[in-house]
Amino acid sequence: MLTAEHFLVYAEPFLDLVVLVAFLKAGLGRRLPATRNYLGLRVGSAFLLNSMLEIQHLFPIAKVTQCYLYFYTYWTLYLIGAVLIFLVIREIYSELMRPVPQLRRLGLVVFRWVLAISCIIAGIIAVSAGMTPMHTFADRLVYTAELCLHSVSVLELCLLAFIALTIHSLGRSFRSPLFGIALGLGIQAAADFVIFAITRWEHAKIWSVANLLSEVLTAIVLLTWTTYFLLPQRQEECGVITVPTPSPLIRWNDVAQALGHGSPRVAAGVSTGFFLQDVERVVDRVLARNQFTEPKTTSKVS
């Protein structure tokens, strides 16, 4: 078991590098810059952390210093990764909803509010934790990083569920790289919750069954992303994505567009016409919008 975990730990940087190369080879670097930055962070952090595990073979360093250096580097990169994952989720949603721009606009507004509220909550928790004398800086760093990642993990699972339910309505398929990225993030989020529960229950150390399971699931995520990036994209997804005509998202997009414009104001007490004339105008607009044509009638005179 220990040998398998060591193998997966040292193979992870190379798998991350393969994913990044496949991502760039698929031509997704310009379309998805946040995802490119996240994958680049994974590659750099994996090589950096693995080199820290073997730094004592290159430089004379105390074991305690090595542990402190690895600890603070790991959790700092962990926190930065949580922020980048949030940007990836926002980017995937934005790219997926491009055929319905009004719904996309409302969704991005919601993302801004989520980010603002999350920052306020994180600030309050950081201040309250700092006022507790029993909590050291290391404890606050770990707690803040885990809190951020758990919040982002919920968004990852929500994104996966949303894409799974609306992928066809938005003119894409399950072979789309956007779904592949969301699928990998969803597996990763579920694995984080499971590993976190096992670690807290068993007080697992660095080399343990919980971490072996984490490395296995991480390898599955990386292989999933590599497969999706190497798959040939459909011709429809290379051009302009169009929403199928019977999709209900078109109606919701019209509703979202109406929400973005203020209704015309009329001065109080000023009549714009007779009541029956107003009703007739409304009926005419409705009939014109629905392209209603009256059936022709023929009458016979006996």
At 264-291, the pLDDT tens digits run: 443 334 444 444 455 456 546 655 555 5
The C-alpha atoms of residue 57 and residue 273 are separated, in whole angstroms, by: 90
pLDDT tens, position by position, 17-26: 999 999 999 8
**Token couple for 56:** 């004592």
Question: Packing angle between helix 101-130 and helix 249-259, nearest 10 degrees?
Answer: 70
The C-alpha atoms of residue 247 and residue 87 are separated, in whole angstroms, by: 28
Torsion, Cα of 170, 193, 74, 49 (10° steps):
-80
Find, among 173, 234, 172, the residue nearest to 26 by Cα: 234
pLDDT tens, position by position, 171-208: 778 888 989 999 999 999 988 888 877 776 665 555 56
The C-alpha atoms of residue 275 and residue 85 are separated, in whole angstroms, by: 56
User: Domain residues of the chain, as ranges?
Assistant: 2-238
End-to-end, the C-alpha distance of the chain in Å comes to 99
Element (H, E) at 128: helix 101-130
Q: Evaluate if residue 222 carries a pLDDT over 80.
A: yes
